[in-house]
Structure 1
């Protein structure tokens, strides 16, 4: 073969590879775009129909708006609710400085719609990295199926359907961390891991979990470093940073049944380790959530040490005394969804390698021709298993769609809300630039032009109030309590300026 012929063949191969890669980019990009649009529609429709909530949409909106104006991230809605004043900062509530990255987008559009779209894009942006990791481990077809399974997954569905939260950053960061490390690019992986520490005060637990994973995989030096970094991050954020900004580390202490603080909880676990071991399985809701976390990978995530990265965060939820943390209904499972999908991919690869070693041992005792025939058949079988598992994972995701929030997208009733017109009219009665105490479901629609406080039975003296006396709204115990609170405000000098379908707008004279 001449040098020119070899060069021509090499050039042709490179061109073919670029064509194939370009085709994959288009298809993966299309899947990412469609996913982002679906997630955004889910959130935007809920906002437009007054089904978003002040806690937590307005909290995040106020923080990001202040970042965008180069002010501290004040969240008066949370500060007044906790009796800590209008200048209470978001970093005292949760250590999430990463929200500052969203502030430039408020220069384009100042409102919660920006947060919803940003969250949708961030959740979808994990897909290309998951695709690259799965393609490298299992092949092209499984990569598409696993990526689709993530796009349809119930943890993502629940997260994008319930306002906006710091969880939006975690799938992308963990996908970058795992994929880049697997590709041998340790610096981007390490930077993504550091980024997790800026998401929330407990993300150090996940970093420590990554360290445990590395130790089990034989990388003890890096593993120990990550464990120390993660543990130090948690202790620093909870024990120092929160209090420096005016918060209280006990605000989110949910382990009073184990002890009054971290040392007390550790002692409680040591005194009765069996009870602590059974605690994650002590409620039906906990067991359901644990099964739902592992089932999308057909339990194969349990075969991979990657799952160790998710264990500390999952235990943080299951050991707590707050039932909402155990549930599958909110955003909490989105913190670990990418880790578990990657662990499922790795778990299958490990299982196939184990089968391959068993086959090699059998072939060593067989003749050469028989061994070659056996090898060829087994390779084909392993390829079929990779495809079958990824197709099954995708099928599981599809079967779970009707149970969770993405199901709403193809039901016409989701796009209408009987009381939305009355809520919009009530909101329109509140002038811009004022402070308003608004019912939980109306606050998000006022936050871009007013200072929103949460309407509670305890008046904060705001000049405007929007209530909904026809149904229960957090934090009231019943609609009747709202009605009684409205009557008290009228007795205190407030004037009713609007009433329709239970919505009442009051103005202080």
Structure 2
């Protein structure tokens, strides 16, 4: 590397271990145990939610359909998302979000053909970032802090929220960003830039993260490669959003969330340039935005703000905070897991830079104290987020009356049919039927599974579902099952 290298390259930093030496060292068991326990906990959350009808059609079924098609060497059709967009059951998932990385999960379906495979794959991928986080921290701060920071990542609230909300393409990002940062810091450019390129296959906006990495390279002195990476990032975004998604049957406007700024990218940029003060304040214009931004930085005790590594996360964070979709700002869901590794590594680097500035680069107690503090913050945030469920017995039982009724309802639907299912019921049917989301706009499916007793996305009230059931019965559907609000309908003469 050239220029202002990360602060780990100080006189006091331990010798750089190679990845191969890590697995042959005495630390193999410790790091592997943290990763194994983490993967087990992540998988448990997803599998329990799936078994107790707390997973959802949006988004688990969408990606289950996608990966199943890859596993059977078919195009990645996602009928559930195609139906809700009104684009047919042969709609490609790549036209919704450009995520060809899902093809890598096809082998899991050769072992078990069902959404459980996705849940397990996601758990393994999130946990796979731990060795690289450990390596980076050990090189910068030492062995003791490395273990504490690895645990802080394993318990981090962004990962917890991601594994609690079905599965998403974000599962690939912590591993890829950890490889990108750690391998570059180790002077191993090939795997670092390969991981960076892999981000472009995860989602159509990951070019923004590549641009962020380019900013980091540029400000730390690696300017030529920074310019090259910036060009790759911009090209990746333009190619995916402007060409590939429309070519595959999607629309670049589907996820345009900046109508308050302009009808397109040039218009939005012009609006921001006209009033730069308002542009600077916009990411802080809502209490939820401020809360989320603070929660993103607080696990590092705010020291991520002292590191240029934070620039890697900046474009993606701005993409969310400048949008007009409130869900993107929240601490819930999966969005914060895109940047969790980046900011945690930035905190490690920020501490080392601070110690150098204070002329105390060899202060091991301070290194250990910060790492301990970061771990404590992660632990104290556990009760507020999804990993809290793991030590509550009620989580494993769920609503037993609802679960029993839902299981009986899905058993009434035969294999191989198209079924419109309530959001929480669809995942249980996805392995053996073509599931569409049960909405207020019928799609003519021969089978319907409704939930007239509970709030369900996107209906809202149970009363709305009950009214729609009545309309379908008037059109010729008949009830074949009813219990605890679950109603199974079959169209006369079909299915």
Shared topology, TM-score over 0.5? yes
Instruction: Report deviation, 1:21.
Output: 5.3
CA distance in 2, matches of 1:475, 1:29: 41
Instruction: Report deviation, 1:491.
Output: 0.4
Partner of 1:411: 392
CA deviations 1:108-141 (Å, max 9, x no partner) are 1000000000000000000000001100110000
CA distance in 2, matches of 1:19, 1:95: 35
CA deviations 1:376-398 (Å, max 9, x no partner) are xx84xx10000000000000000
CA contact (8 A) 2:22 2:28 kept: no
Partner of 1:394: 375
CA deviations 1:398-424 (Å, max 9, x no partner) are 000000000000001111222111111
1:266 aligns with 2:247: no
Instruction: Report deviation, 1:23.
Output: 2.1
Partner of 1:313: 316
CA contact (8 A) 2:138 2:146 kept: yes
Structure 1 stretches of 4+ with a deviation exceeding 3 A read 17-21
1:482 aligns with 2:465: yes
1:462 aligns with 2:465: no
CA distance in 1, matches of 2:200, 2:34: 29
Structure 2 residue matching 1:497: 3-state secondary structure: strand
Partner of 1:187: 190
CA distance in 2, matches of 1:65, 1:20: 33
1:62 aligns with 2:65: yes
CA distance in 2, matches of 1:251, 1:406: 32
CA deviations 1:12-70 (Å, max 9, x no partner) are xx9xx989953200110011000000000000000000000000000000010001111
CA deviations 1:282-341 (Å, max 9, x no partner) are 110000000000000000000000000000000000000001100011100000000001
CA distance in 1, matches of 2:33, 2:141: 21
CA distance in 1, matches of 2:230, 2:436: 40
Q: Under a length normalisation based on structure 2, what TM-score does the superposition of the two structures give?
A: 0.94
Partner of 1:196: 199
CA distance in 2, matches of 1:353, 1:168: 35
1:438 aligns with 2:441: no
Matches within 5 A, 1:83-482: 83-356=86-359, 379=362, 382-418=363-399, 419-482=402-465
CA distance in 2, matches of 1:234, 1:162: 26
CA contact (8 A) 2:450 2:487 kept: yes
Q: Rg bigger for which structure?
A: 1
CA contact (8 A) 2:283 2:322 kept: yes
More helix by share: 1
CA distance in 2, matches of 1:281, 1:92: 32
CA distance in 2, matches of 1:85, 1:19: 50
Q: How many residues align?
A: 472
Structure 2 residue matching 1:250: 3-state secondary structure: coil
CA distance in 2, matches of 1:442, 1:35: 28
C-alpha change, 1:452 and 1:191, in structure 2 (3 Å) is same
Instruction: Report deviation, 1:471.
Output: 1.2
> Alignment partner for residue 41 of structure 1, among 36, 40, 44?
44
Instruction: Report deviation, 1:486.
Output: 0.1
CA distance in 2, matches of 1:174, 1:22: 24
> Alignment partner for residue 32 of structure 1, among 15, 31, 35?
35
CA distance in 2, matches of 1:472, 1:403: 23
Structure 2 residue matching 1:23: 3-state secondary structure: coil
CA distance in 1, matches of 2:489, 2:101: 37
CA distance in 1, matches of 2:439, 2:222: 53
Mean Cα deviation higher: 194-203 or 259-268: 259-268
**Which consecutive residues of structure 1, in runs of 5 or more, have no partner in the other structure?**
1-13, 360-377
Structure 2 residue matching 1:506: 3-state secondary structure: strand
Structure 1 residue matching 2:456: 3-state secondary structure: coil
CA distance in 1, matches of 2:29, 2:136: 17
Instruction: Report deviation, 1:275.
Output: 1.4
**Which consecutive residues of structure 2, in runs of 5 or more, have no partner in the other structure?**
1-16
1:507 aligns with 2:490: yes
CA distance in 2, matches of 1:37, 1:296: 23
Q: CA RMSD in A?
A: 1.4
